[in-house]
Amino acid sequence: MPLVVLAGGSFLAFESAIAAFEKTEDKTLEELFPLTHLEALIVKASIPAENYLISGNPSEREYSRSLSREVDNTFAAVLAAPFDLPEKQVLVRASQKEWQQARTVSEAIFTYADPVGNLSAVQKMEHLNTHTKQAVDSLDKLYKLLTHLQIAENLAVAESIKQRVRLIITIVSGLGLGVVATAGLVLVRSILLPLRVLEEGVVRFGEGDLSHRIILPAQNELGQLAGAFNLMAEKLEQSQAALKDLATMDGLTGLYNRREFNQRLAAELERSRRYGHPCSLLMVDIDYFKKLNDTYGHQAGDEALRVTAALIKQEVRPGDQVARYGGEEFAVIMPETSGFGASAMAERLRDAIATQAIPITKKQTINITVSGGLATFPEDAGSESAVIFAADQALYAAKHSGRNRVISSSNLSIKES
């Protein structure tokens, strides 16, 4: 009888625990996915203005307006959903306010008839980046708030299950007083110890330790319950990893996205400042990419982007960091690399891309070239925005001096002087 009561009670208790955890997970994911999508849209909406500063292509204006409408619609959808806490609505509205200011600045950038190299336009781009970052930061705060609430709910469920388990153990202990010592020892070894392991697992999971796994023999019901618990924990861990990838990676190329690039560049420059080491930045742009799309179609353009991204990752060192900066432009952060070393790597990369055949159909391949702009911190520029600007200017010079070449910002300065 004690074994029957224990097995039935513990099974029902942990079944209810798993259901409660899955309900919390589904609710949190329903709130987190729209926020992550909105973050990605805000960052994406700032890219056409920057592309306009680099290329002066007026078609970026309509693309920017299309993205802006999509961001506005997403904000409206998020705000239309019910809010459990006032803090959620406050953070979303704060992000929306920063986004509206960013959109105004973006529209102002498109009023410049000749934006390339215009310092006033560059300053407005810095304002746009600032408002974009603040809008994303507000959504990040909301993301952390929702995650904290999920952990709090899990802890409450874990505490409830702990009390149930203790009650079951108390009942079983009372019923088992009449059982002989040997039967009591068997009970402790076969039931109570696994229950304690399960209880510890529930508590650790409720505290947010999704990497924890319960190790019990799978031959009995408690072992099967532990297996179900481990599968649920793995599912949650994968969901969180997917959310992180969605926020940091570019879906087409598998490289870091623009937002993650900005964060990593800031971190590397701060490290360079602290230890007095150089850090180089290479901006790479596919030559005649619009003509490639117009001639062979956007699928061929996507394949060219994927192949170029793979070649860059293959050629750089393990410590270098590669991102898709926007459109057909890529960025490579090279920590502890001087201008000379970065130039050698950039030339090797340019040659590798130029000699790589890209399949566009089963029977047809094409070759592409790239142009590159290189800047080194602190030799060529002393801040994050200045390094990006210097590399962009060098890339602009490479484009206008014939393409399929890499120009360093230091060489560009010598020529201008």
Q: Transcribe 144-185 into DSSP letters.
A: HHHHHHHHHHHHHHHHHHHHHHHHHHHHHHHHGGGS-HHHHH
**DSSP 8-state secondary structure symbol assigned to residue 216:** -
At 23 the pLDDT is 61
Spell out where 16-88 has E strands.
none
Q: For the residues of 315-354, what is the DSSP string, one character each?
A: HS-TT-EEEEEETTEEEEEEET--HHHHHHHHHHHHHHHH
Question: Which residue in the block uniquely carries the two structure tokens 């432009």?
Answer: 329
For the chain, how far is it from start to end, CA to CA, in angstroms?
Answer: 94
Give the pair of three-digit tokens for residue 87.
């803090």
pLDDT of the residue at 45:
87
Backbone angles phi, psi at 369, to 5 degrees: -125, 165
What's the token pair of residue 96?
Answer: 């929306």
Instruction: Tally the C-alpha atoms within 13 A of residue 260's C-alpha that lie toward its C-beta.
Output: 18
Q: Is 366 left (phi over 0), alpha (psi -120 to 50) or beta?
A: beta
d(CA 64, CA 49): 7
Q: What is the pTM of this model?
A: 0.48
Per-residue pLDDT, 209: 74
User: For 110-118, where are the alpha helices, taking DSSP H only?
Assistant: none
pLDDT of residue 414: 45
Chain centroid offset of residue 358 CA: 28
Distances (CA, A) of 9 to 4, 14, 21, 286: 8, 9, 18, 65
Mean pLDDT (10-residue bins), the chain, 417 residues: 63 64 59 82 89 87 91 90 82 92 91 87 89 90 81 73 74 66 67 76 74 73 70 66 71 95 96 95 97 94 96 94 96 96 96 94 92 96 95 96 95 54
Q: Name the packing angle between helices 384-400 and 119-175 (round to 10°).
A: 130
Question: 206, 212, 192, 225: which is closest to 159 by C-alpha?
Answer: 206
Q: What is the helix (H) or strand (E) element at residue 132, kind and residue range?
A: helix 119-175
Interacting residues of 187 by C-beta distance below 8 A, sequence separation 6+: 2, 3, 172, 176, 179
Q: Which whole-number Å values give the CA distances from 205 to 158, 162, 163, 219, 314, in the listed order?
A: 8, 13, 16, 23, 39
The tokens for 242 are 């997917």
- How far is Cα 307 from Cα 264, in angstroms, rounded to an integer? 23
CB 79 within 8 A of CB 96: yes
Question: What single string gives the DSSP state of each residue in 195-210?
Answer: HHHHHHHHHHHHTT-T
Determine whether 259 is exposed, middle or buried from the number of CB atoms within 10 Å of its CB (0-12, 13-18, 19+).
buried
Dist CA 247 CA 239 (whole Å): 13
